[in-house]
Amino acid sequence: MSAQYDDGTILLDDATLERFHRATGGEAWPCYQCGTCTATCPWGRVRQEPLLVRTLMRNAQLGIDEDGESLWLCTSCGICEDRCPRGVPIVRILRALRSLAWKDRRIPEGLPSVLWAVHRDGNPYSLPPCERTRWADDLEVKEFEPTDEMLLYLGCTASYDRRIQKVARSVVGGLRAAGVQFGTLGASEPCCGETALAMGQTAFAAEIAEANAKLFAARGVKTVVTISPHCFDMFQNHTPRLDEGFEALHYTQFLARLVSAGRLVCRGSFPRRVAFHDPCYLGRRNGEYDAPRTVLESIPGAEIVELEESRAGALCCGAGGGRMFLETPVGERFSDLRVRQAANAGAEVLATACPFCITCLEESAPQVDQPLKVMDVAEIAARALEPEGADVEATASGR
């Protein structure tokens, strides 16, 4: 390992440099230290000391070990990559550096228990697999069959988090309203592995992804539709394709297809001013900006407004890259900035399509003086499928 002395001098070590080069595949070398990454990172907007992404890239080039919290601040939002003039895959490099930190046991407190939970329970929340279907106790959702149009993949958060369970139930309502034949994997549904990948446990994530690919192939899954953009990204970009016809979609993409085909028609209304927050893993990381807007624009009465930063320039909620499982101090939460942007746009509802975003934005919503309700796109669509005059508060809360 590289040595650092009290006077700030760093002694570079050839063996450590080679170790870093192997871990990162040399992908940090094109970085010419322009600093665009540091300048665009959202941490600079909430902290006196920004996240020095440029320094992390330089350290990766020189084989300098990174101690402290810097390596674990990245939310993998991807805005630095989007703006990088050299196309450096910064998030992938930081994941590689995190993998080295695991090997050296330089890990923030709490993260090992999260990974053990994924290994032991199949979810990062340390909850039993037998409770994975509790969200649908009264919905009579059947097991997936190869003749079904698609497999609905809940993911860990929608399965166990009570708030996000309401989103899953709304998605089910939309699918049934459109006459879609679908099923789930029930209690046997596995974790997608994104938590392990985000935290730098790349080998473990690859192991999970391979097992999931085999499971999908064995069950005859041609189309998998996810609640979370993080699960979608995992299946789209990090899971082997054992069947060339296999397709991964986020639920907004699938609903948008139903809307375009005339299968999903909202006959009620949602007379609210709605601003949409683009989830990083749906937007910047996978280039999908139109599908959620297509669904929202199909809802009678909804007035859609754009936030100050939207689409490719959207501000991160702050929960990606494993940050969902680490504490972010009050005053340093990106979502506080986001709800203020929604208030400035005059929005009554701040809509999004990601479980992590829902969690962060709802925690920050009380920061603004005006009433601001955070809802998922699926919840708004479900409200508009209800008869005219239905209570929007009751519908959104699941009562």
pLDDT digits (tens, 9 = 90+) for 60-91: 999 998 778 999 999 999 999 999 999 999 99
End position of a domain, from candidates 258, 281, 313: 258
Shared-domain flag, residues 241 and 126: yes
Q: Is residue 7 part of a domain?
A: no
Local confidence band at 243 (pLDDT 50, 70, 90 cut-offs): confident
pLDDT digits (tens, 9 = 90+) for 361-377: 999 999 999 899 999 99
**Which of 3-17, 49-63, 114-128, 198-212 bottoms out in mean pLDDT, i.e. has the lowest?**
3-17
What is the predicted pLDDT for the residue at 397?
37
**For the chain, what is the domain count?**
3
Shared-domain flag, residues 127 and 233: yes
Q: Is residue 109 part of a domain?
A: no
Q: How many CB atoms lie within 10 A of CB 103?
A: 11
Q: If you average pLDDT over residues 85-104, what whole number do you get?
A: 96
Residue 358 pLDDT > 70? yes
Shared-domain flag, residues 270 and 306: yes
Shared-domain flag, residues 129 and 95: no
Q: Is residue 115 part of a domain?
A: no
Q: Which two tokens stand for residue 135?
A: 């969200």
**3-class SS string, 249-296:** EEHHHHHHHHHHCCCCCCCCCCCCEEEECCCCCCCCCCCCCHHHHHHH
Local confidence band at 190 (pLDDT 50, 70, 90 cut-offs): very high
Q: Is residue 184 part of a domain?
A: yes
What is the predicted pLDDT for the residue at 66?
78
Shared-domain flag, residues 96 and 184: no
Q: If you average pLDDT over residues 180-188, what whole number do you get?
A: 97
| CATH code of 202's domain | 3.40.50
CB distance 201 to 115 below 8 Å: yes
pLDDT digits (tens, 9 = 90+) for 150-174: 999 999 999 999 999 999 999 999 9
Can you tell me whether residue 201 is helix, strand or coil?
A: coil
Shared-domain flag, residues 253 and 267: no
What is the predicted pLDDT for the residue at 4?
57
Local confidence band at 392 (pLDDT 50, 70, 90 cut-offs): very low
Q: If you average pLDDT over residues 249-254, what whole number do you get?
A: 98
Q: If you average pLDDT over residues 339-360, what whole number do you get?
A: 97
Shared-domain flag, residues 294 and 353: yes
Among residues 356, 357, 371, 363, the alpha carbon closest in space to that of 273 is found at 371
Q: If you average pLDDT over residues 223-227, what whole number do you get?
A: 98
Residue 175 belongs to domain spanning = 120-258
Local confidence band at 395 (pLDDT 50, 70, 90 cut-offs): very low
Q: Is residue 108 part of a domain?
A: no
> What is the torsional sign of CA 56, 60, 62, 68?
positive
Shared-domain flag, residues 183 and 254: yes
End position of a domain, from candidates 45, 72, 103: 103
pLDDT digits (tens, 9 = 90+) for 254-279: 999 999 999 999 999 999 999 999 99
Shared-domain flag, residues 91 and 204: no
Q: How many CB atoms lie within 10 A of CB 70?
A: 18
Can you tell me whether residue 59 is helix, strand or coil?
A: helix
Local confidence band at 3 (pLDDT 50, 70, 90 cut-offs): low
Residue 217 pLDDT > 80? yes
End position of a domain, from candidates 53, 69, 103: 103
Shared-domain flag, residues 222 and 156: yes
Shared-domain flag, residues 228 and 279: no
Cα–Cα distance for residue pair 151/390, rounded to 1 Å: 30
Q: Is residue 114 part of a domain?
A: no
Local confidence band at 388 (pLDDT 50, 70, 90 cut-offs): low
Q: What phi-psi label fits residue 350: left (phi over 0), alpha (psi between -120 and 50 degrees) or beta?
A: beta
What is the predicted pLDDT for the residue at 394?
41
Shared-domain flag, residues 252 and 274: no
pTM: 0.93
| CATH code of 358's domain | 3.40.50.10700
Local confidence band at 399 (pLDDT 50, 70, 90 cut-offs): very low
Q: Is residue 111 part of a domain?
A: no
Q: Which residues pair with 274 in a beta bridge?
A: 304, 349
Among residues 390, 351, 388, 357, the alpha carbon closest in space to that of 372 is found at 351
What is the predicted pLDDT for the residue at 391?
46
> What is the torsional sign of CA 60, 27, 246, 379?
positive
What percent of the chain is modeled with pLDDT above 90?
Answer: 89
